[in-house]
Amino acid sequence: MTADALIALLPIMVVAGAAIVVMLAIAVRRNYRLTVILTLLGLVTALATLPLAAERAPLAATELMRIDRYALFFIGLVLATGVAVTLLCYDYFAKREEQKEEIYILLLTTLLGGAVLAASSHFASFFLGLETLSVSLFAMIAYPIKERLPLEAGIKYMTLSGAASAFLLFGMALIYAEVGVLSFAELGRLSATADFQPSVLIGIVMIIVGLGFKLSLVPFHLWTPDVYQGAPAPVTALLSTVSKSAIFALLLRYFVVSGSYSYESLSAVLTFIAVASILVGNLLALLQDNVKRILAYSSIAHLGYVVVALITGRVLGSAFAVEAVAFYLVAYVVSTLGAFGVVAVLSVGGDEAETLAAYQGLFWRNPGLASIFTASLLSLAGIPLTVGFVGKFYVFSSGVNADLWLLVWTVVIGSGVGLYYYLRIVLAMMKSADGVATAAVPAAPAPLVGCLTLTVLVALLLWLGVYPGAFMEMLQSLSKTLS
Amino acid sequence: MTLFWLITVLFVGGLLAWLAERWQAAAPRWVALAALALAAGLAILLLSGADAMTAWPASPAGGAWLSELEWPWIPRFGISFHLALDGISLLLIALTVFLGFMAVACSWTEITQRSGFFHFNLLWTLAGVLGVFLAMDLFLFFFFWEVMLIPMYFLISIWGHEKRAYAAMKFFLFTQISGLLMLLSILALAFIHRQSTGVYTFDYFTLLGSRLDPGTADWLMLGFLAAFLVKLPSVPFHTWLPDAHTQAPTGGSVILAGILLKTGAYGLIRFVVPLFPDAAHRFTPVAMTLGVLSILYGAKLAFAQSDLKRLIAYSSVSHMGFVLLGVFAWNALALQGAVMTMLAHGVSSAALFMVAGALQERLHTREMGRLGGLWPKIPRIAVVALFFFIATLGMPGLGNFIGEFLVLLGAFKVSVAMTSLAALGLIAAPIYALIAIQRTFYGSARATRPIADFGVREMAMMAFMIAAMVWMGIYPQSMLEVASPAVEKLNRTAAVGAMLP
C-alpha cells in the first residue's frame, strides 16, 4: 500500500482511530463532556483531512476502496451529519441515568461504516461497511435498555436486518458464481462483453431486496415506523440520514460502475419499488398521530423519490442521475436532521415528544423551535425557499426529461398527499396553547447546544434553497468523476 | 434595480415588522405602513417613467416593456433572476400596493394577537404577488407563485374564523397541487427547448418562440391552465374560494379577493396565450364556456347564500368569469376589458370584504338572517356597502361597468351566443347584490344594543376606495393607456402564433 493510498484513506482511518481513542478515554475515566469533545474532535479532524484525500483522488486505495470525489463527497456528508447528531445527542443523553458515554463509540463506528460504504468498490468492503453500520445501529437503537420501546425496536431492526444481510450475501454469491469477480469495475467490464442474464440478474435483484430493507423501501418497509418510534430521537435522526444516504451512495455507485443500468427488467423492478414506496409511504403517513411515525412514513416516500432519480439514469446517463440523487440526498438529510433535531431537543426533559398533542401551541410557547420545525417540514414537503424544493425540482426534472410520466405523476400525487400531513403538524403547532399542551411537555428551557445546531441547519436549508447555484455546479463536476 | 427594491422592501419590511413586535405591540403596523409607503414611492417612480416610455414608439424590445432587470441565479439550468415590467404589470402592482395599505388599515383593530407575525405574513404575501407580476423567468415565476402561498396559508389558519383549519388546508392543497402541474409543464417546456437548441433556459422571452407539436402544446398548456384556472377561480375549480374567503380575517380576504385571484388572470394573459397561442386558440370554446358558466353559476350561488362573506366570494367567481371570457376572446378590446375588470373587481370586492369584516367585528356574525335593519344604526357603513354593491352589479360610471362592458363588446365579435349568455350575468348581479343589501340593512332590526359606525380611520380608507372606483368609472382612459402598448403587443404575438388573420 502506497503512502498516497494511506493519505487518501485518512478520513476513514481518523474516524476509526477516534472510536478507539474515545473507548480508551472512557475506560480510563468516565467523563461525559470529555467524551463528547473527543468525538467532535475526531470528526472535525476527519473532515479536515478530506482536502488532503481529495488531492490524491481518484485513486484505488487497495482493491476494496476507491477514493474519488464522489466517495469523498458522501464521506463528508456522513461525517457532517455525524457532527450534527453528536451535538443533538449531547443534550439528549446528558441527564439520563444509564451509562451514556458509550453511545459515542457506537456513533463513531456507525459513521465509519457509512464512510466505508461511500468508498467501497468491491463486494467485500460493501458487506463489511454495511455490517459495521448496521451492528452499531442495533446497539444505538436499543441504548436506553431499561425502556420497553427502544428494546423492542432494537430487536426488530436486528432481526430484519439480519434477514436482509442474508439476501444480500446470497445475491453476491450468485453473481460471483456466474462471473467470478467481486469488484464492481471488473463486473462492469465483464458484463459489458458477455451476457450473464439470468443468475446475475437474480443476484442483483436480491441485492436490491437486501438494500431495500435498509433503505426502508416498500415492500420491505414494515420495520420502519416501529423502529423510528422506539429509537431515541437523535438515533432516529442518525438512522434516517446516515444509513440511508451512505447505502444509497453505494447502490448508485454499484449501478453505474457494474453496468446494471443495462438490464431493462431492473428498471421495471425499481419502478415498482419507487411507485409503491411513494404511494404507501405518503398514504400511511396520513393515518398517523405520532410525529415520529409520520416522519418515518415520510422517509419511506422520500427514498422513493430518490429511486425515481436513480431510475432516470438509464435514460439520461449516469451523470445527471448522480447529480440529482446527490442533491436530493443532501436536501433530505438537512431537512430530516432539522425535523428530528426538533423532536430530540423537545424530548430532553425525559419523555419523547412524539404525539401531535405535544406540539400543540408550540408556535406561541417557543417560536424559535417551531419556526425551525416548520421550515424543516416545508422543506420535506418541497416548498420553495427551502432546499427540499430544489431537490424536488431535480426529481421532477429528471423524470420529465427522461419521459417517465408514470413516475412523474406518482411524485406529483405523493407530493400532494405529503403536504397534508406535514401541514397537519404545522397546524397543530399553531393552535392556541390554552391549557392543552402545558401538561404534555414540561416547560424546560430549550438546550443551547441543540438549538444552535438546529439554527445552523436551518440557515443551510434556506441558503441552499435560495442560492443553490454554486452547490449544483460542484455536484455537476463531481458527477462526471463516477464511472 | 427599482424592480428589485420594490420586492425587497416588502420582504425586509416583513422581517422588521415581526421583530418590531418585541419592542412595542403597535409597532408592526407602522413598520408595515412604512414598507408599503416605500413600495408605493417606487411604484410611483415607475409610473412616472411609464408616461415617458409609452410615447416612445418602437424600441428594439417591442416598446411595451418599461423596465427590466436580469441577474444570473442558477446558471446550471439557465435560470436567471429576470424581472420586467410592462403596462399590465404596472397597473397590477399599483393595485397590489394600494390594497396592501387597505389590508393593513382594516386589520388595525381586528388583529390584536401576534400582530408582528400577522404583518410579516401580510407583507410576504404581497412581496410574492409583486414577484409573480414581475417575473420573466418561468422558474422564478413558479418560485414567487409558491412564496405567496405559505404566508397566505398562515394568515387564514392562525387569524381566521371558526373553520379556519379546514379552509386553510383546502386552499393550500388546491393551489399547491395545481401549481405542481404547472411546474411539470414549465420543466417539459424547458427540456423540449433544450432538445431542439441544446441550451437550458427558463427565460420567458426565449421560450416564447418555441416550436411545439400540437399534441405536446395541448398538454403543456393544460398544466399552466390548471394552476391559473384554480387560482382565478373558474367553475369547476372554485370550491376552495368560498371557504378560504369566508374564514380568512378581513385583511386576508382583502388580499385574497383583491390581488391573489388576479395572479391567475395575469398568468392566463402573460403565459398561457403567448406561450401556447395555437393550443390556446383550440381551447377557446372550452375556455369561453367555462367563463360563461362561472359568470352564471357564480351569480346563482351568490344569490343562494345566507353568509354575507360567502355571497361576496361567489360574486367573485362570477366576475372572474368575465376575465376568462375576455382573455379568450382574442382581441385587444376584450383584453383591455379583462384588465379593467381585474382592477375594478380588486377594489370593489376588497371593499365589500372590508364592510363584511367590519360587520363581523361589531356583531360577531356574518349570517344575513341575523343581520337586518342596520341602516338607521350604522348609516355610514350602510352607505358604503350600498355604493360598492352597486359598483359590483355594474352601474355605469363605476369601474366594474367599464371592464365588463369592454369584455362583452370584444367577445361579441367572436361569439354572439356566448356574449348573450354572459350578458345575463349583468341581470343576475343586481339580484344578488340587492338581496344582500336588503337582508343586511333594511327590514326590521334584530340587534337592539347600539353599534359603532365607521370611525375616521375606516371612513378614510373607504374614501380612497370610493375615489378609486369612481376614477376607474369616469376616466378609464388613463388606465387603458398605460395597459394599451402591452395589450397590443400580447395580442399581436398571440395572433401571429395562432396564425389568425
Instruction: Give the nearest chain B residue to A464 (CA atoms).
Output: B74
Is the CB of A416 less than 8 angstroms away from the CB of B173? yes
For residues A314-343, average pLDDT: 93
Q: Say what the pLDDT of residue B54 is.
A: 46
| pLDDT higher than 90, residue A45 | yes
Q: Say what the pLDDT of residue B366 is.
A: 86
Q: Is B57 helix (H, G, I), strand (E, B) or coil?
A: coil
Q: Min CA distance, B12 vs chain A (Å)?
A: 15
Q: Min CA distance, A384 vs chain B (Å)?
A: 6
Sole residue written with cell 475515566: A29
| pLDDT higher than 70, residue A90 | yes
Residues of B in contact with A389 (CB under 8 A): 146
Supply the pTM of this predicted model: 0.92
Is the CB of B173 less than 8 angstroms away from the CB of A396? no
Torsion (CA) A14, A19, A24, A29 in degrees, nearest 10: 110
For residues A118-133, average pLDDT: 94
Q: Say what the pLDDT of residue B63 is.
A: 60
Q: What is the DSSP string of A431-469?
A: S--TTTSTTTS--PPPPHHHHHHHHHHHHHHHHHHH--H
Angle at which helices B164-197 and B149-159 pack, to 10 degrees?
A: 170
Which of B142, B143, B195 best probes binding to A when mutated, by most A CB atoms within 10 angstroms?
B143
Q: Min CA distance, B76 vs chain A (Å)?
A: 6
B84, containing H or E segment = strand B79-86
Q: State the Cα angle at A100 between A98 and A105, rounded to 5°.
A: 145
Residue B146: which of A384, A396, A472 has the nearest Cβ? Answer: A384
A interface residues, B as partner, C-beta within 8 Å? 364, 378, 383-385, 389, 393, 396-397, 400-401, 408, 412, 415-416, 419-420, 423, 427, 430, 467-469, 472-473, 476
Residue B147: which of A384, A415, A427 has the nearest Cβ? Answer: A384
Confidence of residue A144 (pLDDT cuts 50, 70, 90): confident
| pLDDT higher than 50, residue A453 | yes
Q: Min CA distance, B415 vs chain A (Å)?
A: 37
Residues of A in contact with B172 (CB under 8 A): 419, 423
Is the CB of A473 less than 8 angstroms away from the CB of B73? no
Q: Say what the pLDDT of residue A262 is.
A: 81
Rg of chain A over CA atoms, in angstroms?
21
More confident residue, A357 or A98: A357
Residues of B in contact with A473 (CB under 8 A): 75-76
Express each pLDDT in A367-408 by its tens digit: 889 999 999 999 999 998 899 999 999 999 999 989 899 999
Residues of A in contact with B72 (CB under 8 A): 469
Q: Min CA distance, A389 vs chain B (Å)?
A: 9
The three grid cell numbers given for residue B54, joined into one nine-digit string? 409609452
Q: How many angstroms separate the CA atoms of B247 and B236, rounded?
A: 21
Q: How many angstroms separate the CA atoms of A47 and A11, rounded?
A: 7
The DSSP letter of residue B76 is G
The DSSP letter of residue B56 is S
More confident residue, B49 or A207: A207
Q: How many angstroms separate the CA atoms of B176 and B182, rounded?
A: 10
Q: Say what the pLDDT of residue B447 is.
A: 67
Instruction: Give the nearest chain B residue to A413 (CA atoms).
Output: B177
Is the CB of B180 less than 8 angstroms away from the CB of A472? no
Return the sign of the alpha-carbon dihedral for residues B248, B253, B255, B260. Answer: positive
Q: Say what the pLDDT of residue A437 is.
A: 45
| pLDDT higher than 90, residue A63 | no
Residues of A in contact with B75 (CB under 8 A): 469, 473
The three grid cell numbers given for residue B297, joined into one nine-digit string? 353559476
Is the CB of B187 less than 8 angstroms away from the CB of A364? no
Residue B176: which of A393, A396, A419 has the nearest Cβ? Answer: A419
Q: State the Cα angle at B376 between B374 and B381, rounded to 5°.
A: 60
Q: Are A331 and A390 spatial neighbours (Cβ–Cβ below 8 Å)? A: yes
Q: What are phi and psi of B415, to 5 degrees?
A: -145, 110
Is the CB of B191 less than 8 angstroms away from the CB of A400? yes
Confidence of residue A166 (pLDDT cuts 50, 70, 90): very high
Is the CB of A427 less than 8 angstroms away from the CB of B157? yes
Is the CB of A400 less than 8 angstroms away from the CB of B181? no
Q: Say what the pLDDT of residue A271 is.
A: 95
The three grid cell numbers given for residue A384, joined into one nine-digit string? 420553495
Sole residue written with cell 432516470: A312
Q: What is the DSSP string of A23-66?
A: HHHHHH---HHHHHHHHHHHHHHHHHTHHHHHHH-SEEETTTEE
Q: Are B392 and B429 spatial neighbours (Cβ–Cβ below 8 Å)? A: yes
Q: Is B150 helix (H, G, I), strand (E, B) or coil?
A: helix
Q: Say what the pLDDT of residue A316 is.
A: 86
The DSSP letter of residue A66 is E
Closest C-alpha among A332, A337, A108, A367 to residue A236 = A337
Q: Min CA distance, B149 vs chain A (Å)?
A: 10
Instruction: Give the nearest chain A residue to B80 (CA atoms).
Output: A469
For residues A191-207, average pLDDT: 83
Confidence of residue A36 (pLDDT cuts 50, 70, 90): very high
Q: Are A392 and A382 spatial neighbours (Cβ–Cβ below 8 Å)? A: yes
Is the CB of A416 less than 8 angstroms away from the CB of B180? yes
Residues of B in contact with A408 (CB under 8 A): 184
Q: How many angstroms separate the CA atoms of A373 and A339, rounded?
A: 6
Q: How many angstroms separate the CA atoms of A58 and A50, rounded?
A: 13
Q: Say what the pLDDT of residue A445 is.
A: 64
B interface residues, A as partner, C-beta within 8 Å? 72-77, 114, 142-143, 146-147, 149-150, 153-154, 157-158, 165, 168-169, 172-173, 176-177, 180-181, 183-184, 187-188, 191
Per-domain residue ranges of chain A: 263-483
Q: How many angstroms separate the CA atoms of A349 and B20, rounded?
A: 32
Closest C-alpha among B99, B119, B97 to residue B108 = B119
For residues A413-438, average pLDDT: 80
The three grid cell numbers given for residue A324, joined into one nine-digit string? 440529482
Give B401-421 as a 3 state SS string: HHHHHHHHHHHHCCCHHHHHH
More confident residue, A350 or A449: A449
Is the CB of B168 less than 8 angstroms away from the CB of A427? yes
Q: Min CA distance, B152 vs chain A (Å)?
A: 13
Residues of chain A with pLDDT > 70: what percent? Answer: 96
Q: Min CA distance, B21 vs chain A (Å)?
A: 13
Instruction: Give the nearest chain B residue to A416 (CA atoms).
Output: B177
Instruction: Give the nearest chain A residue to B144 (CA atoms).
Output: A384
Is the CB of B187 less than 8 angstroms away from the CB of A420? no
pLDDT in tens, chain B (501 residues): 788 999 999 999 999 999 888 888 888 899 999 999 999 998 888 877 754 444 443 444 456 677 888 888 988 888 999 999 888 999 999 999 999 999 999 888 888 878 889 999 999 999 999 999 999 999 999 999 998 988 999 999 889 888 888 999 899 889 988 999 999 999 999 999 988 888 889 999 888 877 888 888 999 999 999 999 999 889 889 999 999 998 999 999 999 999 999 999 999 999 998 899 889 889 999 999 999 999 999 999 999 999 999 999 999 999 999 999 999 988 889 999 999 999 999 999 999 999 999 988 888 888 888 888 888 888 899 999 999 999 998 888 898 999 999 999 999 988 899 999 999 988 999 999 999 998 888 888 776 778 888 888 889 999 999 999 999 999 999 888 888 888 888 888 777 776 654
Q: State the Cα angle at A330 between A329 and A336, rounded to 5°.
A: 85
Express each pLDDT in A217-256 by its tens digit: 989 999 999 999 999 999 999 999 999 999 999 999 999 9
Q: Min CA distance, B142 vs chain A (Å)?
A: 9
| pLDDT higher than 80, residue A160 | yes
Confidence of residue A483 (pLDDT cuts 50, 70, 90): low
Residues of A in contact with B74 (CB under 8 A): 468-469, 472
Residues of B in contact with A434 (CB under 8 A): none
Q: Min CA distance, A189 vs chain B (Å)?
A: 31
- Residue B15 has, within 13 A of its CA and on its CB side, a CA count of 4
Which of B22, B173, B184, B195 best probes binding to A when mutated, by most A CB atoms within 10 angstroms?
B184
